Chain A
Amino acid sequence: MSLSVEINETAVYERPESLMDCLTHYCPGCTHGVAHRLIAEVIDEMGVREQTIGVAPVGCAVFAYNYFNFDFVEAAHGRAPAMATGIKRVLPDRMVMTYQGDGDLASIGTAEIVAAAARAENITVIFINNATYGMTGGQMAPTTLPGQVTASSPSGRDVENAGYPIRVSEMLSKLEGASYVVRRSLHDPKNIRQAKKAIRTAFEVQRNGLGFSMVELLSSCPTNWGMKPVDALRWIETNMVPFYPLGDYKVHPLVNELKF
């Protein structure tokens, strides 16, 4: 008589094929990892891993090409939308994604992102807004909140001197060429689920040739904000969301008709 019991295991959670099985250099509590996973899940679910080409930024996600399991290039600081344009125009049937932070996209790369959106460039942009320059050690970013203390605004961002933050989604939503521009947040599970749905929609916009799509993700930077990870998530909710309201800033009528 055998005492062994057969257990039928069903995996309910595993690493998406679109993510490499490796350590990342991201700090504990940083939401880059969450954003990476959401993108990888979407790419897997759409079955486009082997047709996707990513464009990495300069900033904390500079090594993103090591973490995703599909073809990747690494752009100069801010130039990812231009580089993605070059790729997409030669290979229009591939999925082309840029992954950019706020310094990359909203400061040094403003011309490139605005021009790509205006051209209705059929690419998908994932925009990580954590209100700071993470890679260089927490300096003031174009998205740093008024009064926010950073390494280069030690007394808090003084709008009299440094000017005001840029609300990128609102700005790009005014362009005819932008088909899908939304802002989501990564500070809790409900918002993370909504972020994933938006990322899927953005890639579907591209797959259907509907033009420029961007998902802005409010993200945490516990290291440079000087906070515990949980406090950093709370800070997104209490400080960033009021300044950067979540929502759909541009949804072309055709996007609403997409079925997936």
Chain B
Amino acid sequence: MAKELLKGNIAFAEAAIRAGLQAYFGYPITPQTEALEWMSSRMPELGRAFVQAESELGAINMVYGAACTGARVMTSSSSPGISLMMEGISYIAGTEVPAVIVNVARGGPGLGNIAPAQGDYNQIVHGGGHGDYYPIVLAPANIQELIDQTVLSFDLAEKYRSVVFLLIDGVLGQMMEPAELPPMRPISNKVPDWAVHGDAGRDKRILNSLYINPVDQEKVDIRLLKRWMTIKANEVRFKSYYTEDAEYLVVGFGTAGRVALSAVRAARAKGIKVGLFRPITLAPYPEKELEELSRKMKGILVVEMNNGQMLDDVMRITKGRVPVEFYGRPGGIVPLPDEVLVEIEQVLSNPLSLDGDPRERWLSRVEL
């Protein structure tokens, strides 16, 4: 298939359809609404299920119902809508049924704004819903990755009976880039052996997230943790750039990682030995890979479009062995490559510290 100019929201919607999506339920919210609109024409045209729900709460519970039948199902939303979905996401995780959720994140908290942001990192990566559960979280940085990882999401969701998030932002949702869509996959007729499907000739099946006896719930929670350990061992994905001889490392994901790559290239042009580490799976996080890489570094700069959320994970993973600095643009601002370059040079030219909170040093540098 040839490359075509594709908008992010439409690219992931069409990629999902070609991956065999059987049902989509959503609610309009900027900056992801084009996905819902695309689904509203494409899904009925293909004889597949589409409902514009009464709310994100309705949408996620429709996803929950469809997921229980074993169908490939997804929803997409943006930050405030994802917050509303958290109830259903916890139930889906507790019931161990597969579902794919796209968060085209925007500035927050609260109603915030409709500009691109990464302030949902903690909510998506470290939970959000109640109870012990572990969603897989993918963070593409361009439209082609978004397409490829959408297809991957469904395979991972089904393989592990897990919730899979695609965590992108308004930039990736709204921007257009040349990219190639996958071929149309046929819809699977296979009904999983756990699905509530209303079939004749077998005992009844129940799907729920209710274990009234704590002894049973403990078993489920431990099973979920063990499954997560398998996912951690097998599904880590990341990209590194210019790290072979690097003395300094920039760490960033999604759009921030992409901007940081431009800054790293500009720094390289100036002869600065700096590389970029861009996690693609935010969960499971490429902990071992970052930890090993960090041992070779004199310093690390974490760049995010938030107040420093992944920063805490980087500091946990590097265990205080390497000085870590932070540069963030929260609230819906996308950093410029030049700003990141200034921060890289700043890391090089100032004495680095293993102590204190990098956010405090960042705040002392920024003027607002």
Contacts and interface: CB of A to CB of B under 8 A. Distances in A.
B198 A50 contact: yes
Contacts of A71: 196-199, 204-206
Interface string A66-81: 1011111111100100
B231 interface: no
Interface in B12-48: 22-23, 25
Nearest to A50: B200
B128 to A, nearest CB: 15
Task: Report whether over half of chain B's contact residues are helix, strand or loop; otherwise say mixed.
Answer: mixed
A69 B73 CA distance: 27
B58 A115 contact: yes
Interface residues of A, number: 36
Contact of B61 (A62, A83, A91, A94): A83
A83 B49 CA distance: 14
B209 interface: yes
B131 to A, nearest CB: 13
Contact of B23 (A50, A73, A86): A86
A34 interface: no
A75 B61 contact: yes
Given A65-B208, A76-B88, A79-B88, A87 B200 contact: no
Nearest to B196: A71
Contacts of A87: 65-66, 68-69, 196
Contacts of B67: 86
Interface of A: 50-53, 55-56, 62, 65-66, 68-76, 79, 82-91, 94-95, 111-112, 114-115, 119
Interface of B: 22-23, 25, 49, 51, 53-55, 57-59, 61-69, 71, 73, 87-88, 91, 95, 196-201, 204-210
Given A74-B209, A79-B61, A86-B67, 6 more contacts: A75-B61, A76-B91, A82-B54, A85-B65, A89-B23, A90-B49
19 contacts: A53-B197, A53-B198, A56-B208, A62-B210, A65-B206, A70-B198, A70-B204, A71-B197, A72-B207, A73-B65, A73-B208, A74-B210, A82-B64, A85-B25, A86-B69, A86-B73, A87-B69, A90-B65, A119-B51
